[in-house]
Amino acid sequence: MQMKKVLELLNSEPSLIEMNVKGWVRSFRSNRFIALNDGSTINNLQCVVDFENFDEELLKRVTVGAAISVSGTLVESQGQGQNVELQVSKLEILGDADTEDVKLTILSPKRHTLEKLREQAHLRIRTNTFGAVMRVRSVLSFAIHDYFRQKGFFHVHTPIITGSDAEGAGEMFRVSTLDLHNPPKNEDGSINFKEDFFGKETNLTVSGQLEAETYAMGLGQVYTFGPTFRAENSNTSRHLAEFWMIEPEVAFNDLAANMDLAEDFIKYVVKYVMDHCKEDMAFLEQRQQQEDKTKPEAERSPMPLLEKLQFILENNFKRVSYTEAIDILKASKPNKKKQFKYLIEEWGADLQSEHERFLVEKHFKCPVILFDYPAKIKAFYMRLNEDKQTVRAMDILFPGIGEIVGGSQREERYDVLKQKIADMGIDEKELWWYLETRKFGTCIHSGFGLGFERLVLFVTGMTNVRDVIPYPRTPLNAEF
């Protein structure tokens, strides 16, 4: 007997060949109609049981959440909402789900808040919303690899444990095997990390960029796609302590080519999802519209989800210098009326999410790429411009979430990079290998980083980054 997926059966024609399908019960109506889902699609397969042919005690075990195996023939559906249904000839309970226990969980049929779903993250994948989000996440992940493969990039696995701080921010998780209660000490009382596993201080990586740069110097164009970690105490809808990053690095690319690559990349993966996840995306758009009805008008989505994504595909990203952006923000109504939480008073200010969203949503009304930021607010590895005040940095800003991509042309000049490392108080000994690449065939090169969860957030229309990753890691939360 052929075992089939629900998705496969729903796209099939009626057949006299007996088929088998396994999944979880979503509902059981009138002791006759089982709605079965196996995760392959957002849609359920209707399985029709002739209760007179089955033991009553067996049918009592067909409850919401139970895992079952059903066999039968595929026939034309008599009801609305599906073309075919399974006429059940054999039914087996694979795993019971007690009705009283189910009532206490998010598997119960009533509607639950996203906050409630987070409390039961081990079960939330069984809901329509999270099934759709995670299928989209999976397809997006494939699209990313597919894009870079087509462009001739090589995938590089950079270290998770590192002795360097790529961002220079110091917000890192320490990796150590030392005894927390009685660590070895130096004469001055400080911890002696020479006795640690790696013989030095090590941390979980905040970025694979520096290592990827070294590989771009030999392979030409590479990308990383892996987990990164930030010990940043930010309890916001946009931050996680553990998240995934996509980071391409390309030899001989300047900032303009870097911007072209980022825009082309985003448009490719967005279109890929729209082409390959139509049913899930239609559901997520409908879900967003229902959510919007409960929100104040100012907080509602400016356009339906699919229209927003189509807008991204059809419009060129507006390229604006940081200096021009500051002038626009200083002269804006929210700034003059002191409606911004962080007022823009002078050049050199670090832009916040409210400023980024104003530029995208109110002023330009399209995705924006800001470039040439003040050197003082950017990382040490970004190329210093001739004015000595700005660096060849770029950020891509999207409606709803603000920054989605951060990148730059990297500083390829040995002397300049060495001075920048010193100016930022970074120990040159930790980055000797990174500096050394500038001594052996240095060249212009560029790259960017894109937080995968922010991309999933934008594409799915969800509003909290904790709802687009299976098990979110946030301050004071490492459950599951």
CATH number at residue 333: 3.30.930.10
172 neighbors 203 (Cβ within 8 angstroms): yes
pLDDT of residue 287: 95
Distances (CA, A) of 302 to 290, 365, 366: 14, 10, 12
Domain that holds residue 270: 128-171+206-467
Give the pair of three-digit tokens for residue 364: 């330009």
Reply yes or no on whether the pLDDT at 169 is more than 70: no
Cα Rg for the chain, rounded, in angstroms? 27
- Which residues pair with residue 450 across a beta bridge? 246, 405
98 & 133 share domain: no
* Beta-strand pair 445-451/402-409: antiparallel
Question: Are 279 and 324 within one domain?
Answer: yes
Give CA torsion, residues 160, 166, 169, 175, to 10 deg. 30
E strands, 286-389, in order: 318-321, 368-374
Bridge partners (DSSP) listed for residue 162: 203
Q: What angle do CA 378, 358, 381 make, to 5 degrees?
A: 10
Q: Read off the tokens for 379.
A: 């990382």
| Rounded Cα distance, 411 and 438, in Å | 9
pLDDT tens, 394-436?
999 998 888 999 999 999 999 999 999 999 888 888 899 999 9
Summarised one tens digit per residue, pLDDT across range 364-401 is 999 999 999 999 999 999 999 999 999 999 999 998 88
Phi-psi region for residue 382, left (φ > 0), alpha (ψ -120 to 50) or beta? beta
Q: Is 305's pLDDT higher than 90?
A: yes
Same domain, 162 and 92: no
> Mean per-residue pLDDT for 150-171?
86
Give the mean pLDDT of 269-292. 96
pLDDT higher than threshold 70 for residue 168 = no
Q: How confident is the model at residue 212 (pLDDT cuts 50, 70, 90)?
A: very high
Q: Does residue 250 sit in the same domain as residue 149? A: yes
Please report which confidence band the pLDDT of residue 302 belongs to, taking 50, 70 and 90 as the band edges. Answer: confident
Evaluate if residue 166 carries a pLDDT over 70.
no
List of residues 6+ apart from 107 with CB closer than 8 A:
64, 65, 97, 123, 126
Torsion sign, CA atoms 173, 177, 182, 184:
negative
Residue 478 covered by a domain: no
Concatenating the DSSP letter of every residue in 316-342 gives: PPEEEEHHHHHHHHHTSHHHHTT-SSS
Whether residues 238 and 348 fall in one domain: yes
399 three-state secondary structure: coil
For residue 298, what pLDDT is reported? 77
At residue 46, the pLDDT reads 97
Residue with tokens 């075990």: 61
Residue 78, pLDDT > 90, answer no
DSSP one-letter string for 195-249? GSTTSS-EEE-S-SHHHHHHHHHHHSEEEEEEEEE------STT--SEEEEEEEE
19 sits in which H/E element = strand 15-29
Residue 294, both tokens: 């409960």
Of the pLDDT bands very low, low, confident and very high (cuts 50, 70, 90), residue 111 is: confident
At 307 the pLDDT is 94
**Average pLDDT of span 293-304:** 85
Residue 173 has pLDDT above 70, yes or no: yes
Q: What is the CATH number of the domain that holds 47?
A: 2.40.50.140
- Residue 86 parent element (H or E): strand 84-95
Q: Rounded to the nearest 5°, which phi and psi values hold at 319? A: -100, 120
Identify whether residues 38 and 146 lie together within a single domain.
no
Do 6 and 134 reside in the same domain of the chain?
Answer: no
pLDDT value of position 2: 80
Are the beta carbons of 55 and 93 closer than 8 angstroms?
Answer: no
250, 330: one domain = yes
d(CA 61, CA 67): 10
Task: Flag whether pLDDT at 294 surpasses 70.
Answer: yes
Q: Is the same domain home to 140 and 94?
A: no
Q: Does the pLDDT of residue 262 top 90, yes or no?
A: yes
Same-domain pairing of 393 and 462:
yes
Residues 297 and 49: their CA atoms lie apart, in Å, by 47
- C-alpha 215 chain-centroid distance: 25
Q: Which of 60-74, 216-230, 300-314 has the least mean pLDDT?
A: 300-314
The dihedrals phi and psi of 465, each to the nearest 5 degrees, come to: -60, -20
* 117 in any annotated domain: no
Calculate the average pLDDT of the chain: 94
Asked if residue 387 and residue 318 are part of one domain, the reply reads yes
The pLDDT confidence band at residue 209, using thresholds 50, 70 and 90, is very high
Split at pLDDT 50, 70, 90, the class of 207 is very high
What does the pLDDT read at residue 149? 98
User: How confident is the model over 279-293, as a mean pLDDT?
Assistant: 95
Structure tokens at 69: 């195996």
Number of domains, the chain: 2
CB 183 within 8 A of CB 197: no
Q: Is residue 257 part of a domain?
A: yes
Residues 67 and 159 in one domain: no
- Predicted pLDDT of residue 236: 83
Confidence of residue 34 (pLDDT cuts 50, 70, 90): very high
At residue 170 the predicted structure's pLDDT band, cuts being 50, 70 and 90, is low
Q: Measured at the alpha carbon of residue 279, what is the angle toward residues 300 and 48, in degrees to the nearest 5?
A: 125
Of 23 and 166, the structure prediction assigns the larger pLDDT to: 23
Q: What percent of the chain has pLDDT over 70?
A: 99
pLDDT for 110: 85
Average pLDDT over residues 229-254: 92
First to last CA, the chain: 38
- What's the helix, strand, coil split of the chain in %, to 5? 35, 25, 40
